[in-house]
Structure 1
Amino acid sequence: MVRHDCSDFLWAVRAARELHSDACRTKQRFEDQRSQIALCTCSTSSSASSNPSSLSSPPPGRMASVQPLFLTASIIFFLFISSAHAHAVPRLTFPLESPGRPITLFNLPDVSNTTTLLLSNDEETLYIGARDAILSLKISKTGSLELSKKIDWSPTETELRECIMKGTNEMDCANFVRVLQVLNSTHMFACGTFAFGPRCSYISSEDFSLSSSAGEKHEEGRGRCPYNPYNKHTAITVGGELYTATVADFRGNRPVISRHLSEGDRVDMKLDDTPGWLEDPTFISSAYIPSEEKVYFFFSEMGREYDFIERFTVSRVAQVCTSDVGGQRTLQRRWTTFTKAQLLCQARDELPYNVLQDMSTLWPAEGASEDETLFYGIFSSQWSVNSGRSAVCAFSLRDVKDVFGGNYKTLNRDTLRWSSRMQEKIANPGECGLHNSSDNVLRFVKEHFLADKSVSPANQGLALVSGDQRYTNLVAQRVKGANGREYTVLYLLTESGFLHKAVLAGGGAHIVEEIQVLREPQRVTNLLLSISKGVVFVGSSEGVASVPLSACALYRSCAECVLARDPFCAWDSTRRVCAHVSAVTDQAVQDVDGGNVLKVCKNFTTLNPRGRSVTTTVSHSEVVSVSLKEVVRLRCRTLSQLATLHWERSGAELSPDIYIKEHGVLSFLATPTTLGSYRCQATENGFTQTLCLYEVRQKEDPSLQPISTSSTSSTFSTSSTLSPAPARETTPREKTETKPTTQTSASTLIPAVTQAPAHGSKHMLQHESSASYLKELVAVSVLLAMCVCALLLLVAYDLRKTYHSRTAPHLSSHDSDQEREVLQGESPHPEKQSSEKSPHPPNTGVSNGSNVYLPNTPI
């Protein structure tokens, strides 16, 4: 019984490992911890480990008993997950309509939802599919857009009424153009939702007008375009044929990957309707690889091979051959080359990012093999631990081909369950030319279309992990730097409407900047990159935004130009400007990998922070006049979010008990000891530069002036003060109440600077009549309590002394002399007594309240 339960538990452990880390990647770590969590004997564990095949599937009828064990194993697995990725943070942020990073927005008052974009082959024209319209825009040299022609394409009133009668929102019953492709040199092909009744049409490239085919104005759009404008899909044209991945019914329950517009002996193709080929997919993107003669489709779907979890999403890559024409008897007009594999975007010992959001193809460098093609994808996670974040993974074409060339899982049509067991491999699924194979081979292909292995990321790691936001779209580009090396630049759009420009260099991702392009968060269908024009086009409901790829003129010093780590920009040592790499004719200074200013800018002494005419030497400070007991706030801001701000005074650190530093603002209370000079510095990548200098002085007030030196001018020095040290440490209240005897300047010695104040640097002085004097109040209260206690002690001591004097015996000096003589056995001298003048009246020898006799004296 114990051994049977242990077998169930070990299977659950194996299932959890396969789910999260593809079995072998976290095997060693999990095995090391299994000794601490095992619920069965060591011998049973050893026997089970020696026979891994016994763990591939649970015993029949044991799923109910295995589920609690699986949950236990999953929880244990989560406990050992530790994230090792630093979230990338944009260095610069440019809000909408920032003067330093302007963008161009094209929109028309009567056109909306300009989301489908298509670039002509010469990149001189941009075609836009919008709501009830198709636009042709001319692209200028600067990337701005100008309307050339417009096609109105909307459904009839009858079609609109029928759409509304079906229970559809009236706003969604318009014609949203979702497919826009170039077929050949004379025509384009467009498809729209057309009031939930998809229609397609040809467009003449010569006069940009709708043209009919075979005498019909519109063609059936089912299987080419989605019914719902919000459904995701993908389309691509190859050799005048249209390859699409979408849904083929009104409710969106029939996903299909198909080929259309085939002519001659070629026929239109679609995916077989047999269950298991597609499992509730969300289509994302597609790409054509000429050397392979294959079209690759990227999508997410339910991972039915993980039958121990309900609704587990996986990301897929699927392939079909363009030469496929279907089988002769089996799979007629159906794909015979369709295969799919899992895309695993996961770092070691972490939960996977399993939901694909977008995919972009980065073609290899000139002269390189086509196997070097990379597919960059944005992935999100269905796990709450990664909620709100995104990861970018790159997959190489070589790895995809290796997985498709390996083994395949077997689908049991009766139980719809997958198994890794393959009795005999009689064909290579996915291989082009299978349409001429026998029925036996085609039946084998029909049951073996899911690759056994997953496609792992290139370099076995994540290219980028967002910090606290989710990416929705991306495009990738290769850029050659000043050193001749090629860098990968990614343009990623966030859900909040910001475009991130990230460069993959130096062993990680560096986000150069983020630019706001949308006023309101919204869904964007795609981004489009124009390398010749140097812009990225973003289509949205607000219009089409044209964003320049770089803005090198922003950086006005060698330091800023190098710290940006932008492969487009380099410091021109001759003209002493930051310019595009292609425009630098002489020595170009650039360090994309490290951004080491001290190394590459050592020959340039002018370090002008952006927006300020400043050198490394500052000749004066910005004077700030304040009154005592006034709250002073000095502002210091750097545009770089990667820089660390540091405040100092005369080269010394500022005590947190007196100064408050928050968001680049230094706040403190103006007292004679806090007057003086302050410097704000920014440190980034080991390089430090002074941003601003302040000299805080007391306002001219003859009735109250701080104690200070006799000099009115100040220079930086290593000494902190010139005023003599007081004999004792005074409280803040005593300091503020001390009245000076001379009228001089600030008491602290202002550090000498050789750097001019930054132009445009701001300070803020805020007079607060209700300022808090908590520390002074506490000090005064303590002193008052001490004084009261001392006074009470003095009064008590005086009362005690008075009481003691009333109760103790009192002897005169005369009596004392007599007593001494008696004790010594001598008789008193009457003559001596009579000759001495007693200051007291005659004493009877009896004191009030005492006995006649003295103690210890014989009677």
Structure 2
Amino acid sequence: MDLKTCYAHCVLLLVLVLLGSFPGPLRGFPFGPDLQLDAPPRTTVLFNGLLGCNRFRGSALDYSALLLEEEAGVLYAGAREAIYALDIANISSPRANHSIKWPAPAEQKRQCLNKGRDNQTECYNHIRFLQRLNETHLYTCGTHAFRPLCAYLDVEQFRLSRIEDGRDRCPYDPAKGYTGLLVDGDMFSASQYEFRSTPDVRRNFPFPLLRAEEAPTRWLMEADFVDSALLRESVNSSIGDDDKIYFFFTEKNQEQTAYSSQRRVARVARVCRGDIGGQRTLQRRWTSFLKARLLCSIPDYELQLNVAAACWRARQDSRLHRGLDWSAVCLYSVADIQKAFDGPFMENQDSKWREFIGKVPEPRPGSCITNQHRALLINSSRDLPDNLLTFVRRHPLMASPVLPLRGRPLVFKKSINYSKISVLPVAAVDGVVYNMLFICTDEGWLHRAVEVGDHVHIIEELQLFSEPQQIYSMVISQAQRSMYLSSQSGLVQVPLATCQKYTSCYDCVFARDPFCGWDGTTCADVSLHTDRSSLIQDIEMGNRGCPSITGDGSTVHRVRSVMAGDDVLLQCELLSNLATPLWTLNGRDLPGPGLGSSYRVGTDGLLIIGAQPKQSGSYRCFSQENGLRQPVRRYTVRIQAPPVSSPLAPLPSGPESQAYRHMEALYMSLVAVLGGLCLVLTVVLLYVSFCARGRAGSPNRKYSQQGVMAAAVAAATERKRSSHLELKTISSHCNGRVSRRGTAAGEDGSLLQIVPGEGGQLGSPGGSSGNNRDRTPPPAPPLPMPPPLPASEFANGLSATLPSVLRKMNGNSYVLLGQAEGETTSPLYHSFTEELNRILEKRKHTQLEDVQTDESSV
């Protein structure tokens, strides 16, 4: 089966499960050295840095259903009370007259409100089902303000041609889990139907309608459905087997097992497509319904299902990918799922489920009709004997769980939660087919990853939306080299790969992206090259093929001139989260940041503490990844000693001495003149003072003197106020950190503000006498937030992209202006904040007078 056919059977499976925090012993995962406990994405692309994306945002909200038809070049999107037809080449340009408004009438919305439902979210017509029915029509269903309706959609005229009752085909509640399939005109669905939210797996049409059993053994216990998948096993089957339909869901735990403390467990259920129910027993009920437990286990602890995706192949080596809450991905074999359904049954005894140890009837209960059945004159499910159907009614649950391949997760992350996953097989340059994983988080980020051997390499993470929001649906078009994702606000079209963003051979190879290869000048899309023999690509190791680096190449070079004793920050930012910084001085590696070392290495650069002249020289920063070094920046640092005052030189002799004496006489004359002027002014001041003393007895003399004194005090107070600054912190969390995908810097309180104040009298009354003692100066208004920092280098050599931005005040104090979360992903990350608080604020700096301090001094 070719890749395109294989992908056509890839489906999205989602189960919403809430997990508590892991217990302490979980810290020692006994998975062996191959499992990455917290695999980081190699690169991070923020919303403003996305390349080649197209967006669609119509008048509606909640785009919950997508249908991609590549041959017609159309993407159908079902939203709240609207259906759109978009051009898959560019979804930003909707086709003319290709939108349908399907609102719930006002009377139905009023009845919905009277039932106690939310008029802001629930009392609308949310499109939940949208699939191809035949060559001329689509079939769609909506909640219709808690009275579901379904309709036939004429594709050519793009209008609803017939509307019918949908209460048995669509859930009432738009928030309930739901899945459905149209298979050659037959509709299969699973959800919590009806107003009382009864979970069920149904065959909706054609007749006969089938559903799950509720008595004496209830087959489904508060089930929450995710998705469904068709596995065609009737094609070229040697035993005349039937096609299978698999449903994925979580439900209330029923077993008494080691994990019985968990309230909900993950399940996979199976029915036969040709099932038409029993003749007397299980009339209009499934005769082939079986369910088994899906595990992605850590010894002694189980991770519950959160995401699943499968690429079904009609072979025994078919595999199922499952994602789990706490961001784990497990790999399953369809053969193992089939083995579980062929294993022992469970039975309910005294309200407790135990493994059945009795005799199982023949032919095996729950199996599809095969040549073995036909040999016994059982040509359909209605020909099955009653004893076999009675066994099926009482034993829907299998005893053996389905375990992941290698008995452990493929990848595990503790920082985020995955919510959707899709799988696409991609052939690399060497012809090896790799599984590309496209995994969405619950905040609207997309992880592009590749399955390499027994682990997953996350190529990059993309922020698809400016605001966090869940992704509802995801489909992939290989013809357009795009994937389409829907959310609450709209749709986004994302390229499968953006190879052009890798600017060097090493960047292209380090990415380990099967879509990309280096052609000698650029990183190009592999699919665009018919001759791939000249392309450089290394998916397995990510470090082979590129020519060795012999020089600095096009690295940035800067010159820094600073004074001895200053602290210098040499910026060097790494583009890869997997890279580590390496610094050299005059060709030698710098020592590690141990105790007493004058160097500190961080993800933003190198900090030289108390620079000395012996530390002058040529500094080089390398990005070290996959065992290879790549030059990033080069600095020439010149550290100058403070100027030393020299003794007075002897007076010159000869003619020069004569000229010097003339100048000395001139200066003496000038001093004598100035002295005479000073004497005259002194006499005048004494006379004025004597006159003022003679009028000391007048009635106004006291008030005049007090006025002079008050003015002097006021002036002194103003001078005092203007000579001090009060450093106020807007938030007590000035050194705290915020989420990288949350608020911007400055909105979380991680900003310091300088306002006028009185030194040494913070919060105390101002003034020196009289009414001034009862007056408290009003608080100064907060200063406006500074404008965003430019991306270019500042006057002090720092960059807006640094995790910490520092400013110097009065020569020896430092203020942390902003610090963002999530930017310290390097294993060698070292925060400079504590170093600056402990070391730099205690140091008094002497500024150079004849040499301007370089901008790289912190």
User: TM-score if structure 1 supplies the norm length?
Assistant: 0.67
For 1:222, the aligned partner's letter is R
> Given the alignment, which residue of 74, 83, 90 partners 1:125?
74
Which segments of 5 or more consecutive residues in structure 1 lack a partner in the other structure? Answer: 1-73, 213-217, 381-388, 608-614, 706-758, 781-859
- For 2:360 and 2:606, locate their aligned partners in 1 and report how far apart those are by CA, in whole Å: 75
> Given the alignment, which residue of 480, 490, 514 partners 2:461?
514
Identify if the C-alpha distance between structure 1 residues 540 and 778 changes in structure 2 by more than 3 Å, giving closer, same or farther.
Answer: closer
Q: Which residue of 1 aligns with 2:602?
A: 662
Q: Which residue of 2 aligns with 1:289?
A: 231
- For 1:117 and 1:776, locate their aligned partners in 2 and report how far apart those are by CA, in whole Å: 58
Identify if the C-alpha distance between structure 1 residues 773 and 526 changes in structure 2 by more than 3 Å, giving closer, same or farther.
Answer: closer
> Given the alignment, which residue of 812, 821, 825 partners 1:770?
812
Query: 2:613 touches 2:641 (CA, 8 Å); kept in 1?
Result: no
Q: Which residue of 2 aligns with 1:637?
A: 573
- String of CA shifts for 1:3-32, please: whole Å, max 9, x gaps: xxxxxxxxxxxxxxxxxxxxxxxxxxxxxx
> How do residues 482-501 of structure 1 correspond to structure 2 at under 5 angstroms?
482-501=429-448
- For 1:239 and 1:246, locate their aligned partners in 2 and report how far apart those are by CA, in whole Å: 21
- CA drift of 1:415 comes to 2.9
> How do residues 400-549 of structure 1 correspond to structure 2 at under 5 angstroms?
400-412=337-349, 415=351, 417-433=353-369, 434-549=381-496
Q: Secondary structure in 1 aligned to 2:479?
A: coil
- CA drift of 1:450 comes to 1.2
- For 1:345 and 1:649, locate their aligned partners in 2 and report how far apart those are by CA, in whole Å: 49
Query: 2:192 touches 2:224 (CA, 8 Å); kept in 1?
Result: no
For 1:260, the aligned partner's letter is N
> How do residues 132-147 of structure 1 correspond to structure 2 at under 5 angstroms?
132-140=81-89, 146-147=94-95
Query: 1:499 touches 1:514 (CA, 8 Å); kept in 2?
Result: yes
Query: 1:339 touches 1:404 (CA, 8 Å); kept in 2?
Result: yes
Identify if the C-alpha distance between structure 1 residues 471 and 257 changes in structure 2 by more than 3 Å, giving closer, same or farther.
Answer: same
- For 2:426 and 2:41, locate their aligned partners in 1 and report how far apart those are by CA, in whole Å: 19
For 2:614, the aligned partner's letter is T
- For 1:779 and 1:246, locate their aligned partners in 2 and report how far apart those are by CA, in whole Å: 68
Q: Which residue of 2 aligns with 1:680?
A: 621
Query: 2:556 touches 2:632 (CA, 8 Å); kept in 1?
Result: no
- For 1:170 and 1:625, locate their aligned partners in 2 and report how far apart those are by CA, in whole Å: 67
Identify if the C-alpha distance between structure 1 residues 778 and 397 changes in structure 2 by more than 3 Å, giving closer, same or farther.
Answer: closer
- For 2:620 and 2:645, locate their aligned partners in 1 and report how far apart those are by CA, in whole Å: 27
Identify if the C-alpha distance between structure 1 residues 620 and 667 changes in structure 2 by more than 3 Å, giving closer, same or farther.
Answer: closer
Q: Pick 1 or 2: higher relative contact order, CA cutoff 8 A, min separation 6.
A: 2
- For 1:102 and 1:547, locate their aligned partners in 2 and report how far apart those are by CA, in whole Å: 7
- String of CA shifts for 1:85-119, please: whole Å, max 9, x gaps: 322110010000205x34222112x2111121111
- String of CA shifts for 1:518-558, please: whole Å, max 9, x gaps: 22222322211112211111100121011111111122222
- For 1:311 and 1:777, locate their aligned partners in 2 and report how far apart those are by CA, in whole Å: 53
- String of CA shifts for 1:180-231, please: whole Å, max 9, x gaps: 111111111111111111111111111111011xxxxx32222321111111
- String of CA shifts for 1:20-62, please: whole Å, max 9, x gaps: xxxxxxxxxxxxxxxxxxxxxxxxxxxxxxxxxxxxxxxxxxx
- For 2:330 and 2:273, locate their aligned partners in 1 and report how far apart those are by CA, in whole Å: 27
- Higher Rg: 1
Q: Which residue of 2 aligns with 1:305?
A: 255
Q: Secondary structure in 2 aligned to 1:272?
A: coil
- For 1:563 and 1:584, locate their aligned partners in 2 and report how far apart those are by CA, in whole Å: 23
Q: Which residue of 2 aligns with 1:321?
A: 272
For 2:68, the aligned partner's letter is L
Q: Secondary structure in 2 aligned to 1:454?
A: coil
- For 1:487 and 1:337, locate their aligned partners in 2 and report how far apart those are by CA, in whole Å: 35
- CA drift of 1:767 comes to 4.6
Q: Which residue of 2 aligns with 1:583?
A: 529
> Given the alignment, which residue of 173, 178, 181 partners 2:128?
178
- For 2:244 and 2:528, locate their aligned partners in 1 and report how far apart those are by CA, in whole Å: 36
For 2:74, the aligned partner's letter is T
Query: 1:319 touches 1:430 (CA, 8 Å); kept in 2?
Result: no
Of 436-445 and 629-638, deviating more is 629-638
- String of CA shifts for 1:363-391, please: whole Å, max 9, x gaps: 44xxxx533332212122xxxxxxxx121
Q: Which residue of 1 aligns with 2:322?
A: 377
What is the number of equivalent residue pairs in this alignment?
A: 615
For 1:510, the aligned partner's letter is H
Q: Secondary structure in 2 aligned to 1:211?
A: strand
Identify if the C-alpha distance between structure 1 residues 596 and 499 changes in structure 2 by more than 3 Å, giving closer, same or farther.
Answer: same
Q: Secondary structure in 1 aligned to 2:339?
A: helix
Identify if the C-alpha distance between structure 1 residues 241 and 618 changes in structure 2 by more than 3 Å, giving closer, same or farther.
Answer: closer
Query: 1:631 touches 1:767 (CA, 8 Å); kept in 2?
Result: no
- CA drift of 1:257 comes to 0.4
Q: Which residue of 1 aligns with 2:160?
A: 210
Q: Secondary structure in 1 aligned to 2:48?
A: coil
User: Are positions 1:258 and 2:176 aligned together?
Assistant: no
> How do residues 104-123 of structure 1 correspond to structure 2 at under 5 angstroms?
104-108=54-58, 110-120=59-69, 122=71
Identify if the C-alpha distance between structure 1 residues 424 and 478 changes in structure 2 by more than 3 Å, giving closer, same or farther.
Answer: closer
Q: Secondary structure in 2 aligned to 1:207?
A: coil
Q: Secondary structure in 1 aligned to 2:400?
A: strand
Q: Which residue of 2 aligns with 1:815?
A: none
- String of CA shifts for 1:304-347, please: whole Å, max 9, x gaps: 01278455322111111111111111111110110011111125
Query: 1:193 touches 1:225 (CA, 8 Å); kept in 2?
Result: yes
Query: 2:549 touches 2:630 (CA, 8 Å); kept in 1?
Result: no
For 2:365, the aligned partner's letter is P
- For 1:165 and 1:504, locate their aligned partners in 2 and report how far apart those are by CA, in whole Å: 51
User: Are positions 1:200 and 2:142 aligned together?
Assistant: no
User: Are positions 1:95 and 2:39 aligned together?
Assistant: no
- CA drift of 1:79 comes to 9.6
- For 1:136 and 1:438, locate their aligned partners in 2 and report how far apart those are by CA, in whole Å: 50
- CA drift of 1:506 comes to 3.8
Of 765-774 and 198-207, deviating more is 765-774
- CA drift of 1:250 comes to 1.8
Identify if the C-alpha distance between structure 1 residues 423 and 619 changes in structure 2 by more than 3 Å, giving closer, same or farther.
Answer: closer
- For 1:76 and 1:652, locate their aligned partners in 2 and report how far apart those are by CA, in whole Å: 39
Which segments of 5 or more consecutive residues in structure 2 lack a partner in the other structure? Answer: 1-21, 234-241, 370-380, 647-790, 799-806, 814-835, 845-858
User: Are positions 1:169 and 2:113 aligned together?
Assistant: no
> Given the alignment, which residue of 95, 101, 107 partners 1:158?
107
Identify if the C-alpha distance between structure 1 residues 655 and 144 changes in structure 2 by more than 3 Å, giving closer, same or farther.
Answer: same
Query: 1:143 touches 1:533 (CA, 8 Å); kept in 2?
Result: no
> How do residues 691-706 of structure 1 correspond to structure 2 at under 5 angstroms?
691-698=632-639
For 1:622, the aligned partner's letter is R
- For 2:363 and 2:25, locate their aligned partners in 1 and report how far apart those are by CA, in whole Å: 38
Q: Secondary structure in 1 aligned to 2:157?
A: coil
Q: Secondary structure in 1 aligned to 2:560?
A: strand
- String of CA shifts for 1:607-666, please: whole Å, max 9, x gaps: 9xxxxxxx6447983112334443321111111000011223221424643122233222
User: TM-score if structure 2 supplies the norm length?
Assistant: 0.67
> How do residues 230-241 of structure 1 correspond to structure 2 at under 5 angstroms?
230-241=175-186
Query: 2:365 touches 2:388 (CA, 8 Å); kept in 1?
Result: no
Q: Secondary structure in 2 aligned to 1:430?
A: coil
Aligned CA RMSD, in angstroms, stands at 3.0
Q: Secondary structure in 2 aligned to 1:375?
A: strand
User: Are positions 1:621 and 2:561 aligned together?
Assistant: no
Identify if the C-alpha distance between structure 1 residues 392 and 773 changes in structure 2 by more than 3 Å, giving closer, same or farther.
Answer: closer
- For 2:530 and 2:571, locate their aligned partners in 1 and report how far apart those are by CA, in whole Å: 37
Identify if the C-alpha distance between structure 1 residues 335 and 647 changes in structure 2 by more than 3 Å, giving closer, same or farther.
Answer: same
